[in-house]
């Protein structure tokens, strides 16, 4: 939804579009290949940082939908990305 942020959890936090971006990037990364080819360990952010945690949340959500599509209700502000086979 335009103008809406998403981070994979319900929270009232300061405006931070970067968190929303990395959540969607994590989701899209996992959706673009198998878990073996696109592992969670490829997270490009500093371990333990807010961005790394949020990217992991996006990756994990997409991983749970492997072989199908992430439900629209779970996408938040992210674009639908077709999942590749497991």
* Domain-wise residue ranges, the chain: 17-75
For residue 63, the Cα-to-chain-centroid distance in whole angstroms is 9
Give residue 49's pLDDT: 93
Composition of the chain by helix, strand, coil, percent to 5: 45, 0, 55
Give residue 1's pLDDT: 43
Which has the closest alpha carbon to 8: 69, 51, 67?
Answer: 51
Mean pLDDT by 10 residues, the chain (86 residues): 58 67 91 91 95 93 82 80 67
For residue 8, the Cα-to-chain-centroid distance in whole angstroms is 7
Region of 52 (left: φ > 0; alpha: ψ -120 to 50; beta: rest) is alpha
CB 58 within 8 A of CB 24: yes
């Amino acid at each position: 939804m335009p103008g809406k942020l998403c981070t994979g959890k319900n929270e009232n936090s300061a405006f931070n579009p970067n968190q929303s971006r990395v959540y969607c990037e994590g989701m899209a990364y996992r959706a673009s290949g198998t878990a073996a080819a696109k592992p969670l360990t490829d997270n490009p952010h500093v371990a333990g940082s807010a961005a790394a945690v949020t990217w992991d949340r996006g990756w994990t959500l997409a991983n749970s939908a492997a072989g199908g599509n992430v439900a629209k209700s779970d996408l938040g502000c992210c674009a639908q990305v077709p999942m590749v086979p497991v």
